[in-house]
Structure 1
Amino acid sequence: MANFPRPAVPEESASPHLPRISRLLAEKSVRRLAALTLFSEKDYCEMHPGAAVGNEFDACVHAFCHGAPQGGPLFNPEQIARSLALVSASLINESAPSKSFQARAEAFRTRYPVASIYVSSLGNTFMKEIAGDLAVDLRRAGIDVSVRDENSDMAGLLPLSIVVAPHEFFTLGAGKDWMRDTVVSSSFVYNTEQMHTPWFAKALPAILASPGVFDISPQAARLFEGAGIPSMHLEPGAVLQTRWLEDVDLDHPLIDALPAEAKGLTFDPSGWVERPIDVSFFGSESARRESFFGRNASTFAKLSSFIYYRRQWHGPILDHTEGRSLTRIAGHVAGYSKISLNIHRDEFPYFEWHRMVRQGMGSGSLVVTDPCLPHPHLKPGEHFLQEEARHIPNLLEWLIFDADGQCEAGRVLKNTARLLSNDEANFVRTDSILSFLSKQMDGVES
């Protein structure tokens, strides 16, 4: 357990990087970090040899006060892999709350009739979509929800507030001023980042200080829970789309590059065989993806392929530049593609919800991916097809050209359509959110 605080930490502040976090809240956060199985003081000292000097050095304190806010390395990749494997082995289907939805919704909105969801105006457009989806979930229970950003009046913070993508909200622009006790100790956070990335490191101070965490990864939620951080796995809802584009998108250069048959504004989610694009992929560059596409260029040349490989990444995909168009175009292309391909950017095979579910399955496209971490609801062979990267080219050709492959594709697509058309799942998700919030809000108010 960490000995907090270090003598060099000022009495009025936990860290020069977190100047508005009190010593008391920092102590609580450091205790949670020390309990997180991902964290090893020995590994952290080896990753930060210049900081680990003197008898007063405390790895947990340094990680919270300095390493995390600066987006520095916090965890040994091998330890991350071991931890993810351990919780994945015990991952089972998540149970729904026992109380009826209507009764829970009525009781909850009596106490919390209004709620605010915060998301950075300077962040990735995907996060704004997630914030919007979460608002829909809460409105399903009759709660009056407003979606706000870092330019809102901080004095208007409601008892029920949720911050989406804390790695952006608390670090970009005016959001830095919101990283203070009165906000983070009473606001829930929705983490969307993978644990081995610098963006997760930047989110960690808010996660550790929060009264409760939603996480898009079921494995991450389990790991947080094990460290005494109230956590819940939560993914936004997804539905079958028939249209993604807006009129303004038709002038985008990527639309010009599409086959003529793929330029219509609407598409038929069920018309799989007639789709003009065999396989599509949208993603940013990485060494792993570079190797995959280079090695299998001959296979993609045989197929009608649409590959958008973003070679230069300069920060969030912003909706006031190309981002809002780009996310709509990715969904549109999936709607005209038989297969939506997912290739992990690195060796950590997180379930890529946005690409696989929202854009791929939600557009009636068959999702093919290299192996993913287990998911409690979406299963390989049932809702998507999973194969080792070296065998994916053979799988693609079998699905496109072979009658048995087309039959298998049809079977999986029917399962996916059935899942996404099940409105009951939306109420179960909202019910689970209310159940989780109810338990944690009692602790916040006390």
Structure 2
Amino acid sequence: MSELRLVFVLSPYQNAFFFEIAEALVGALAENSVEALISTEPGEHEVTHGDVFVLLPPHEYVALEGAAFVDDQRIAARTIGISAEQPHQGFFTSNAQVASRLAAVFDFSQLAVDAYRRMGIAAERLIFGHVPAWDRDRGGDRDVPVLYLGNQRGRRLSVLAGAADSLVRHDARLLVSDSGEPNRSTSPAFVAGDAKRDLLARTGIVVNIHQSDEPYFEWLRMIDAAHGGALLLSEPSVADAPFVSGEHYLTFADAQLGERLDELVGSRTAADVARRAHELVASMPLAENLEPLIARAGEIVIDRSPPTAIPARARSEPIGRTRVDPSPIGSWRPSLAGALRNRLRASDVIAPAGARWRVNRADVEARMHDVPAIAVGASGRGPDGAATLEGLWPWEPWRLEHGQHLGRTMLVTQSLRRAAQRWLAGEPWVESFPHVAVQTFAAAHGLNFAHWPAPVVDLAETPAEPEAQLRPDVAARVTAILRP
């Protein structure tokens, strides 16, 4: 099938993991002697007779770049959609709306395939498999005992909050990403590519929590964990074949995450299950699972004439908030005498009323190293009484520009706190928002914070604020200060 060529059309502003999947598929297709490439500039692509286009996933490309790609029936008839969304999510419905206009649809989840078929869409399943470039299991030290990689959905934060003491006890690393816009690259709260692979190779247990009550099997998280040699500890799931619960991954019941972590961290059971999962994935190369995709693409080439061209992208900048930190408008460093005093004297605690440390405060201060402050995660109950977390996204200056002040609980050197108070003297909001005063000063002076991404503080008297939104008037004033 030398004539066939699969062209994966992606927006440069899509989520990083869709690029990772596309790159893995391109490599696996090459092993099958099928030409494939990724195009992020479709307007410049020279169409050949054997081209079949792939949108991964269809809804995200259309949401970012417009519907021109699928509005043209000739192009849509030459296009395959590969979906990777959960049936309960709104994105799934969006995928279905686009996919119904395409020549074929594939998904890696049997649960999703069944949902598509109930909607009258003839979806097929692709089974993901081993990708040599993803395999980092080298039998080295696993210095990250517990890892959570996921978004900030309320259900997930509630489960984590319920296991807060265990997460702290095992020095868990919680990377809680902002799903309000695509995560395009590694950031303080999101890892992609080699950074993710290397982190998983250092991890003992990867925690998976469902986004909703639907027991969707997180196949990508399972694949990622297995490639890294880590154990997947998940809530019970359905449609998990070829993986088997108890054999290739373990589960925890409602409110039992903390107990299961206490049982499994560093255990022989965890190591054995992780080993079996890695062996299973290694035995099923992705390249050997692509026959359905290749065959369907070949049929499309025979049945449908190619278009003369495909439409250019419509977007010239990322969707959502900018993630560029503001340029410093000043500089600051403590005096030598002040720095020496601060080494001998505890830092100031900035925290809501009733905050209680789960760890020795000196241990938190030890993580400050050479930075003037450390922000920490906290658990508590939100205004509705549900358990939740806050401050798990690391402090980043750009968040202040958009009305967020994640990281209400922090340790700050006294010299930095005094400098912030002097610099913002006369601002009426400083007394009510001391953490924002410190963050604003640091952002304006190019200072970095450290971050402990675990719920080391318990909030008892003040409701937790997972989104941590600033009052509009304070947000507007902070923006004016940072962008004079």
| Same fold flag (TM > 0.5) | yes
The reply to whether residue 217 of structure 1 matches residue 109 of structure 2 is yes
Quick one: which of 303, 307, 323 aligns to 2:174?
307
What is residue 161 of structure 2 aligned with on the other side?
A: 294
The reply to whether residue 419 of structure 1 matches residue 288 of structure 2 is no
1:167-215 superposed Cα distances (whole Å, 9 cap, x missing partner):
1212213x43213212222211111122232322332232101121011
Quick one: which of 1, 7, 14 aligns to 1:123?
14
What is residue 229 of structure 2 aligned with on the other side?
A: 364
Q: Is the 8 A contact 1:140 1:430 kept in 2?
A: no
Q: Is the 8 A contact 2:107 2:124 kept in 1?
A: yes
What is residue 58 of structure 2 aligned with on the other side?
A: 166
Matches within 5 A, 1:37-436: 109-110=1-2, 112-149=3-40, 151-153=42-44, 156=47, 158-173=50-65, 175-180=66-71, 181-225=73-117, 228-239=120-131, 269-271=138-140, 274-310=141-177, 312-319=178-185, 326-358=192-224, 360-400=225-265, 406-422=267-283, 425-436=285-296
What is residue 77 of structure 1 aligned with on the other side?
A: none
Alpha-carbon distance in structure 1 between the residues aligned to 2:108 and 2:160: 28
Alpha-carbon distance in structure 2 between the residues aligned to 1:390 and 1:338: 21
Q: Is the 8 A contact 1:150 1:178 kept in 2?
A: no
Unaligned runs of 5+ in 1: 1-108, 244-266
* Counterpart secondary structure, 1:229: coil
TM-score norm. by structure 1 comes to: 0.61
Residue identity over aligned pairs, in percent, reads: 20
Q: CA deviation at 1:432?
A: 3.4
* Counterpart secondary structure, 1:194: coil
Q: CA deviation at 1:429?
A: 0.3
TM-score norm. by structure 2 comes to: 0.57
Change (3 A) 1:329 1:320: closer
Change (3 A) 1:179 1:241: closer
* Counterpart secondary structure, 2:256: helix
Aligned partner of 2:174: which letter? I
* Counterpart secondary structure, 1:347: coil
Aligned partner of 1:167: which letter? H
Alpha-carbon distance in structure 1 between the residues aligned to 2:134 and 2:10: 27
Change (3 A) 1:290 1:322: closer
Alpha-carbon distance in structure 1 between the residues aligned to 2:126 and 2:268: 32
Change (3 A) 1:417 1:193: closer
* Counterpart secondary structure, 2:290: helix
Alpha-carbon distance in structure 2 between the residues aligned to 1:332 and 1:169: 29
Alpha-carbon distance in structure 1 between the residues aligned to 2:106 and 2:200: 28
Q: CA deviation at 1:126?
A: 0.9
Q: CA deviation at 1:304?
A: 2.4
Structure of higher CA gyration radius? 2
Q: CA deviation at 1:336?
A: 1.1
What is residue 19 of structure 1 aligned with on the other side?
A: none
Q: CA deviation at 1:276?
A: 1.8
Change (3 A) 1:384 1:240: farther
Structure showing the higher strand proportion among its residues: 2
For this pair of structures, how many residues does the alignment match?
304
Change (3 A) 1:196 1:143: same
Aligned partner of 1:431: which letter? E
* Counterpart secondary structure, 1:172: helix
Q: Is the 8 A contact 1:211 1:444 kept in 2?
A: no
What is residue 6 of structure 1 aligned with on the other side?
A: none
What is residue 105 of structure 1 aligned with on the other side?
A: none
Q: Is the 8 A contact 2:226 2:277 kept in 1?
A: yes
Alpha-carbon distance in structure 1 between the residues aligned to 2:15 and 2:255: 32
Q: CA deviation at 1:323?
A: 9.1
Change (3 A) 1:134 1:382: same
Alpha-carbon distance in structure 2 between the residues aligned to 1:224 and 1:415: 32
* Counterpart secondary structure, 1:339: strand
Q: Is the 8 A contact 1:368 1:385 kept in 2?
A: yes
1:57-113 superposed Cα distances (whole Å, 9 cap, x missing partner):
xxxxxxxxxxxxxxxxxxxxxxxxxxxxxxxxxxxxxxxxxxxxxxxxxxxx14x33
Q: CA deviation at 1:438?
A: 4.3
Aligned partner of 1:375: which letter? D
Q: CA deviation at 1:416?
A: 1.6
Alpha-carbon distance in structure 2 between the residues aligned to 1:163 and 1:317: 18
Alpha-carbon distance in structure 1 between the residues aligned to 2:86 and 2:211: 12
